[in-house]
Structures are given as structure tokens and as C-alpha cells.
Amino acid sequence: MNAPSSSATPSSVPTGTAQIGVTGLAVMGSNIARNFARNGYTVALHNRSIGKTDALLEKHGGDGDFVRTETVEEFVDALERPRRVLIMVKAGDATDAVINELADAMEPGDIIIDGGNALYTDTIRREAALADRGLLFIGAGISGGEEGALNGPSIMPGGPAESYKSVGPMLEKVAAQVDGEPCCTHIGADGSGHFVKMVHNGIEYADMQLIGEAYDLMRRALDLPVAEIADVFREWNTTELESYLIEITAEVLSQVDAETGKPLVDVIVDEAGQKGTGRWTVKAALDLGIPTTGIAEAVFARALSSSTNQRKAAQGLASGSLSAAPADKKAFVDDIKAALYASKVVAYAQGFDEISAGSTEYGWNVDRGSLATIWRGGCIIRAQFLNRIREAYATDPELPSLLLAPYFRDAVEAGIDAWRRVVATATTMGVPVPAFASSLSYYDGLRSERLPAALTQGLRDFFGAHTYQRVDKPGTFHTLWSEDRSEVSE
């Protein structure tokens, strides 16, 4: 390690020795820098303010070989060629500022990787601008939070294939490994990696909302004690629902507040924020015309939770007559489990649909099966379930919907009655289940032979002459609604 010293000068920094540089040494950057060092790479360190660099070296300098740098010029000089720099700064303007500074100091053929949570359209723009300057740009989604960054995240890099040849092996080495396979693969061109990471986060929103609804039903409909609900989740984690989020749900529900002796969940304010990626996933889905109802309901449920004033004012609103709790609590818990599983299948099916649509729109050619593979470890939505998704796409790479894969079709069919009972009971008991209910409606809509969209088209033709097509012959038609109501062919 290059000893930390506030009087470092350019001449004191070894040049051309580091295989990778990390700039932005907050939680994520410092942990991933340590991960690279622990894997035997020499890592050049840089941060806008030197304090974070020195703090990392002081606490964790023993993790491996680091090169301490203060200026961007020192940082770039410290790297072997082609230079590889990983940016881990705040998404948005900060990322643009850092990219511009680096690009001025780097040379054609050098590679910049943005590991932050960038909006994929920003990544597309940045990749094109840097390509004009001869630089290779990779937008890499990195999931797993600080623990993943240190011990092995799931990495979703998008960018020119030639850049992946140079950085791919390094990223694959520091990524989580499942069954001997790295949780990292080249996703496609320009913004594909950040797009896929965005949808991953959207699915994470839906997954958490569904877990929340399952908990709420056990709490409010069945009146189960929190500790007992924790046990239910712990037991579910030994079944097909096994996943990181179910596992940590049991942990959070088991936590008792030291100050009050109450379950921690009861002293936490019930308002959840919705930062960038969940909202972006829904916006992109709207633009692409893909119904991601589960994810959208999850984002809206957080927005409702944060509508503090409205919620306070609405406390006295009538509930109407509510039905009694199901008599057989154990049976209803089993129903909730089936509803959770089926709704989760819908959330993933919708997320993968959005990825397919984005891939088609931008020409990325994303391999959906490989996504399921790299999400099996390192990331927040890691789950046993992803093995089934991987198998589904291996069997049929062109699968129109995950709901049509035999495994999932059978699993949902097995739980459909329970799913309906849960949504019906929740509704008659006044317990909100927006994600369970919208997922069931989506499923029913998808399998319906006829939808009321025919009436919608008729109405649109009535008020706006928008025309319609007929089921029995080709062509475009319009009814002369304000005249003799005869039909004309357009």
C-alpha cells in the first residue's frame, strides 16, 4: 500500500501500476475498492475530498494494494493502460462532472465505468459523447448495497463489447458467485446495464410491497402477534419463497426496541420514500406501454404512506360494514403464502416484459435467462425462485410471458383459489392489498378472451372519430355516430 500522507506529490505516486481506479469513496465506492484489492488487484483510490481516501486507507489499508491519489491527474497516471476507472459518486450532475474531468485527463481506448444508479437515458447520452472522444464507457448497475459491494455484488454492465473484454474478467471476479458462476455478465450496449438495474430495483419495490401486504394481513386480519408473524416468514424461507427479502423480513419483525420493549416495527414511522429507480421503472414502463402494475402499485403505496396530512385528515372515514376474520387462521396464512407467491410471479413477469420491451426499443438484445442467473446472488432480490426463471428461459428463450412457463403456470394455477380468497377477504375486511389485487386483475386480464377495450374503442370512435378494427374482416372502420350511424371503411 502507498502510505497515506497529506503531503503526497505527483512524484510520490507510482505510475501505471494500478489495474483499476475507483473514484467516489463513500459507502459503495470504498467497499467495492476493498473488494477489488482483496481479489488481488492494485487499486488506485480517488475522492473529491481527500478525507474519505485517507479514512479508507487508515481503516482498511491492509485489505490489499492501494495507490493513494489526490488529484485526477495523479489518479489517471497511476493506472496501467488501457486505463480502467470505476466511478461511484452520486447519480446525476455529480456523475457528469466526474466523467468530464476524467475524460479530459484520459486517452482514447481508456475505459470509464459508471457504477452508480444512473438513469439509463443519461448512460446512453454519456456513452455516445465519450465514444466521440475515443473513450469506452460502461454503465454498470451494481446491486447488493454496501455488504454486496464488499463481498460480491450482482453487476449488470452495459457498453461496447470490446470494453467488456478488458473489464469483464475483473468485474466477474469481484461479483458474487453462485454454483461457480459469477453474478455478472455483459448485458448489451450503452444504457442496457442501467436499464436492467432500474427494473431490478422496480421488482425489488414490488417484492417488498407484497411482503408488506402479507404481513399486514396477518397483523390486521388475523391479529397475529408480530413474533408469530416473524416465525411464519422464517418458515416460508425454507420453501419455494426462499429469498433474501423474506429472510430479512423475519429478522426485522423479530427485532424488539430496547427503549420501549415493543416490536421495532411498531416504533418505526410508517412512511416510505420512493427515490429514483422505482419511479423510473414505472415511467419507462408507461413510455414503453408495458403494464407493470405490481411495481406501479408499490411506488404508489409508498407515495400514499407519505401523504401524511391526507392520511391524518382521513382517519375518520367510514369503512362500511366489515366482515369477520377467517375462522381458520392457519388456513388463511397458507392462502396468504399462495397469494404472495403468485403475485411475485406476476411482478417478475411484468419486470421481464419491460426488459424485453426496452431491449427491443433500443436494440440491446438482452438475454433474459442470463439476468435471472446473475440475480441469483449478491443482489437484494436474490431468491431460489430465480433458478426457475433461468430454467424457463433456457427451455424457451422466446417465452412470451413468465406466466406461460409450465413451472409458473402450474404454480399459479395451484394457488389461484387461495389468491382470490385473500384478495376477497382483504377487501371485505378493509385491509388494503393494492399489489395482491392488481396482480390478480392483471392475471385475469391476461387470460381473458375478450376485454372491455372493445367498448373503449367504440367510445373513442364516438367522441373523436378514432376509428376501430373489426373481429370479422380486415381494415379500419368508423361509425357515422352523428349521422345515420352507418359504418364506413376508412
Residue labelled with grid coordinates 448489451? 188
Instruction: Out of 4, 82, 145, 160, point to the residue binding ligand NBP (CB under 6 A).
Output: 145
Residue labelled with grid coordinates 432500474? 198
Instruction: Out of 2, 35, 42, 47, point to the residue binding ligand NBP (CB under 6 A).
Output: 47
Report the site for ligand NBP in 240-259 (rule: CB under 6 A): none
Closest to ligand NBP by CB, 9 or 49: 49
Report in angstroms how near the CB of residue 97 gets to ligand NBP at its nearest. 4
The reply to whether 204 belongs to the active site is yes
Binding mask 57-96 for ligand NBP (x = CB under 6 A): -------------------------------xxxx--x--
Instruction: Out of 2, 35, 69, 117, point to the residue binding ligand NBP (CB under 6 A).
Output: 117
CA distance 13 to 471: 74
What is the phi/psi pair of residue 124, to 5°?
-60, -45
Closest to ligand NBP by CB, 98 or 178: 98
Q: Which residue among the candidates 52, 197, 337, 344 is catalytic per the annotation?
A: 197
Instruction: Work out the angle between the directed axes of helices 329-362 and 385-395 (0-180°, nearest 10).
Output: 50
Closest to ligand NBP by CB, 89 or 103: 89
With H, G, I as helix, E, B as strand and everything else as coil, classify residue 112: strand
Which residue, among 288, 240, 269, has the nearest Cα to 120 in the 3D structure? Answer: 288
Give a three-class secondary structure readout of 153-209: CEEEEECCHHHHHHHHHHHHHHCCEECCEECECCCECCCHHHHHHHHHHHHHHHHHH
22 residue type, one letter = V
Closest to ligand NBP by CB, 135 or 155: 155
Query: How would you label 240-253 residue by residue, b for 16+ Cβ within 10 Å and e otherwise?
Result: ebebbbbbebbeeb
Residue 141 assigned to a binding site: no
The reply to whether 413 belongs to the active site is no
Closest to ligand NBP by CB, 145 or 369: 145
53 residue type, one letter = T
Instruction: Work out the angle between the directed axes of helices 277-288 and 192-216 (0-180°, nearest 10).
Output: 110
Instruction: Out of 33, 76, 86, 142, point to the residue binding ligand NBP (CB under 6 A).
Output: 142
Residue 466 assigned to a binding site: yes
Residue 382 assigned to a binding site: no
* Cβ atoms 143, 123 nearer than 8 A: no
Q: Is 27 in the site for ligand NBP (CB under 6 A)?
A: yes
- Residue numbering of the annotated binding site: 24-29, 47-49, 89-91, 117, 143-145, 200-201, 205, 275, 302, 460, 466
- Residue numbering of the annotated binding site for NADP(+): 24-29, 47-49, 89-91, 117
Annotated active-site positions, please? Answer: 197, 204
Under the rule (CB under 6 A), what is the footprint of ligand NBP? 24-29, 47-49, 52, 88-91, 94, 97-98, 116-117, 142, 145-146
